[in-house]
Every structure is written in structure tokens, then in C-alpha cells.
Amino acid sequence: MTEPAARPLKIFLIAGEPSGDALGAALMAELTALAPGVSYSGIGGPGMAGQGLSSRFPMEELSLMGLAEILPKYFALKARIRETAAAVVAERPDLLLTIDAPEFSLRVAKLVRAAAPAIPITHYVAPSVWAWRPGRAAKMAGHVDHVLALLPFEPPLMEEAGMAADFVGHPVVTNRLATEAEATSFRERHGIGAAPLILALPGSRRGEVSRLMGRFGATLQRVRGVRPEAKVVLPMAAPVAGLVRDELAAWPFEPIVIDPAGDPSGTEKAAAFRAADLALAASGTVSLELAANDTPMVIGYDMAWTSRQIIGRMLRTDTVTLVNLVSNTRAVPEFIGGNCDPDLMADALLTVLEAPGAQRAAMALTMERLGAGGPPPGRRAAEAVLARITPPLARP
């Protein structure tokens, strides 16, 4: 008897924010190359649309941060969750692939698992249970079969909770880096010459900028008191560019400012990252961008008092800096909460500026462990997904 021919794969994807859209687009491009004829449905942004996804509704509806933003749209979001889960169940895809945005995507996954338990579910981007709220992994395991992890130490934590997991690499390893020639040109253009160049990176959210700009300005002024020849460059994040300009009025010196409106391709920002000798940065994935550019750093971060108290009690690690965690070192000085003090941060910046060797070694190890030089994360993610999908049979 002749076996029925396998039909093309059907995958339902959900991304809720720009970073997830970028991950989804890279994954879809590789899936299309590895599994010709694969079809897509779901929710995504412009990157995923470019790979053949027609989003069921604008992804921007899901790009919400914080309780104050979510509450007014709570009932609309609940309706979207039910609507999306019903669409998955009706389509019966070969895989439901949710990408980050756990507040939305994992609620959809839970409804799908209850209504159609045979549909496999993969979640892309492991929750940071290594940092806080470890119970999230066990809760996820009730409705997620498989996790694609960005960090190499995450799969064992997911497997311990009862899910299959694959480390696929971090997208930072595919970032375009400026060349040495572009970095040199940046220095020449801004009259920096051979002077120390320090990046100021106070974050991309209003709360971060409001809390950090004053302290970063004071920190860098102290550094300039010891190293008066030092220059400071501040690449503004588009969502907070206006606020950064307002806060700069109180700084005791004028940095070189990179306005995203005048740098739509990001080439000037990339050149600044490559040209810098050092960075003072808010906590976050920017530490990996700096590591990719071999730019040593000091991390400073603070949050609202209530959040500081709650998260401080829940933290499970003595560092929140990804370079420290991935390299299993404590090479990057970090000043969090009450320790986010200009005197402390200025001393650390001066120390790192004089002796960056240990940090450079940790950054190189970090990039190696994140997959630099190997297959791109999108390809590794696509291969991991295909390895776990049972080949579908022809439609009756």
C-alpha cells in the first residue's frame, strides 16, 4: 500500500513586540528554506509579514508594558486571547509557536492545550527563572512542550521543570558591527582623536531614564574631573529621545548626542559602540551589544522604591548582568538600587578604563557561548523546531 505523501507544514506563530517579531522573522526565513511549502498564520509585525505572515490583527495591540498601560485594555486583551486561541484550535496547525510576550502568548497556549491537547506547543525565549520567580517554569510546563532558549544555561532549568529545551543562540551574535574604519571616522568627525570615549546608555524606558540620567551625568562629570580629556557620547533611544533631551539640560557638560531621527539606519550608533573605550549603561541586553563590540562597561540601575523592595527579595542571583552570568564571572561591575551611586560608579569606570583586560576576556567568552561564529540563531531554532514536529500526512 502506498504511503500518503506528506503535506506542507502549517505553523501558527504569535509575537507581541518588536524583538519577538525579529526572532520570528529570522526563524521563518530558515524554516522556509528547510521545509519548502511551509505556511504560516498568526500574529506578528513587519518582519514576520515580510516572511509571509498575514497578521490576524496589529501586533502593536500587544506591545504593552506595565500595569498602568495594561489595565485600560484588559478586557480587549482578554478578548484577543480567546479569539487567538480559538483560531489556533480551528486551524489545527502542526505547531503553535509562541515568541516571548508571555502575558499574552502563554495564556493563549493554556487555552489551546485545554481545548486541543494534541497540538504541539513551542515557546521561544525562556523565562528568566534563573533570576526570579522560578515557579514560572513549572507553571509553563502544564501547557508548553518545548522551549527555544537564548542563553546556554537555560535548557537544564526548563528540562528540570518538565519541558524539552534547546539552546539556539542569542540574536546579538548576528548584529551588524561597525568596522574599525567606521569607528575611526566617527572619532575624526567628532574631534575625539585618541581621547577616551565613554558611551552613556541610560535605557529605553521613561522610568529608567528619569531615574538614571541625573546619576549618570554626575558620574561622568566625576570621571571627567580625573580624566578631563575624556569625551562622552549618548545615543538616544527613540521612545525616550524627548525625555533624554530634557534631562540633558541639567548635565554639567555637553555630550555628543546621537539622535535616532537623524540616524534611521543606526550606522552612527553602531560606529559609536565600536569607537568607545568604555560604557556606563543601564542593566539589560545592552550589555551583550557592548560585549559584541568588545566595549568594556559599568552597569548602573535603579527602579521605583516598591519594585526595588519586591524584586530585591525575589532575586535568586548575585548579579543581573548577562555578561557576568553567561561567562560565569563577575568581571562587569554593577551598581543596582541603593548602590547606583555616582561616586561608586565613577571609581569603577576609572578602574575599568585603566585595566579592561579581565572584562574583555569575559566578553569574548560570552560571545563564544552565545553562538558567535556558528550557525545563526534562526537556523538553529528552525532545526530544533523541525526535529520535534511529526511529519504531517497528506490531507484527506
Any idea what the CATH number is for the domain that residue 227 is in? 3.40.50.2000
The arithmetic mean of pLDDT across residues 1-23, rounded, is: 81
Using alpha carbons, list the distances in angstroms from residue 371 to 148, 170, 292, 365: 14, 7, 11, 10
Banded model confidence at residue 76, pLDDT cuts 50, 70, 90: confident
pLDDT at 165: 96
The arithmetic mean of pLDDT across residues 215-229, rounded, is: 98
Is 396 inside a domain boundary? Answer: no
pLDDT at 395: 37
Is 343 inside a domain boundary? Answer: yes
Looking at the structure, do residues 191 and 93 belong to the same domain, yes or no? no
C-alpha span between 286 and 293 (Å, rounded): 11
Average pLDDT, the chain: 90
- The owner of cell 566617527 is 186
Which residue in 321, 316, 277, 315 sits closest to 299, CA to CA? 321
Grid cell for residue 393: 500526512
Grid cell for residue 153: 544555561
- Among the listed ranges 56-60, 111-115, 216-220, which one has the minimum average pLDDT value? 56-60
Residue 218 pLDDT greater than 80, yes or no: yes
- Among residues of the chain, what percentage have pLDDT more than 90? 77
Grid cell for residue 232: 562622552
pLDDT at 304: 60
Looking at the structure, do residues 382 and 250 belong to the same domain, yes or no? no
Looking at the structure, do residues 80 and 132 belong to the same domain, yes or no? yes
Banded model confidence at residue 1, pLDDT cuts 50, 70, 90: very low
Residue 118 · residue 96 · CB < 8 Å: no
Looking at the structure, do residues 381 and 362 belong to the same domain, yes or no? no
Residue 88 · residue 96 · CB < 8 Å: yes
Is 240 inside a domain boundary? Answer: yes
Backbone angles phi, psi at 288, to 5 degrees: -75, -35
Looking at the structure, do residues 196 and 331 belong to the same domain, yes or no? yes
> Residue 236 CA to chain centroid, in angstroms?
17
Is 3 inside a domain boundary? Answer: no
Looking at the structure, do residues 383 and 266 belong to the same domain, yes or no? no
Residue 66 pLDDT greater than 50, yes or no: no
Looking at the structure, do residues 164 and 258 belong to the same domain, yes or no? no
Looking at the structure, do residues 215 and 119 belong to the same domain, yes or no? no
Is 393 inside a domain boundary? Answer: no
Is 394 inside a domain boundary? Answer: no
Residue 297 pLDDT greater than 70, yes or no: yes
Is 188 inside a domain boundary? Answer: yes
pLDDT at 118: 95
3-state secondary structure string across the chain:
CCCCCECCCEEEEEECCHHHHHHHHHHHHHHHHHCCCCEEEEECCHHHHCCCCCECCCHHHHCCCCHHHHHHHHHHHHHHHHHHHHHHHHHCCCEEEEECCHHHHHHHHHHHHHHCCCCCEEEECCCCCCCCCCHHHHHHCCCCCEEEECCCCCHHHHHHCCCEEEECCCHHHHCCCCCHHHHHHHHHHCCCCCCCEEEEECCCCHHHHHHHHHHHHHHHHHHHHHCCCCEEEEECCHHHHHHHHHHHCCCCCCCEEECHHHCCCCHHHHHHHHHCCEEEECCCCHHHHHHHCCCCEEEEECCCHHHHHHHHHHCCCCCCCHHHHHHCCCCCCEEEHHHCCHHHHHHHHHHHHHCCHHHHHHHHHHHHHCCCCCCCHHHHHHHHHHHCCCCCECCC
Residue 130 pLDDT greater than 70, yes or no: no
The whole domain housing 137 covers 10-169+374-387
Looking at the structure, do residues 324 and 381 belong to the same domain, yes or no? no
Residue 119 pLDDT greater than 90, yes or no: yes
pLDDT at 68: 43
Residue 203 · residue 284 · CB < 8 Å: yes
Banded model confidence at residue 103, pLDDT cuts 50, 70, 90: confident
Residue 313 pLDDT greater than 80, yes or no: no
pLDDT at 226: 98
- The owner of cell 520570528 is 24
Residues 6+ apart with CB under 8 A from 302: 211, 212, 215, 308, 336, 337, 340
Tell me, what CATH number does 133's domain have? 3.40.50.11930
pLDDT at 231: 97
Residue 5, burial from CB neighbour count under 10 angstroms (0-12, 13-18, 19+): exposed
pLDDT at 134: 65
Looking at the structure, do residues 320 and 210 belong to the same domain, yes or no? yes
Residues 6+ apart with CB under 8 A from 294: 360, 363, 364
Neighbouring C-alpha atoms within 13 Å toward the C-beta of 159: 10
Looking at the structure, do residues 334 and 263 belong to the same domain, yes or no? yes
- Among the listed ranges 5-19, 143-157, 193-207, 217-231, which one has the minimum average pLDDT value? 5-19
pLDDT at 2: 47
Looking at the structure, do residues 159 and 187 belong to the same domain, yes or no? no
The count of domains in the chain is 2
Higher pLDDT, 340 or 307: 340
Is 379 inside a domain boundary? Answer: yes
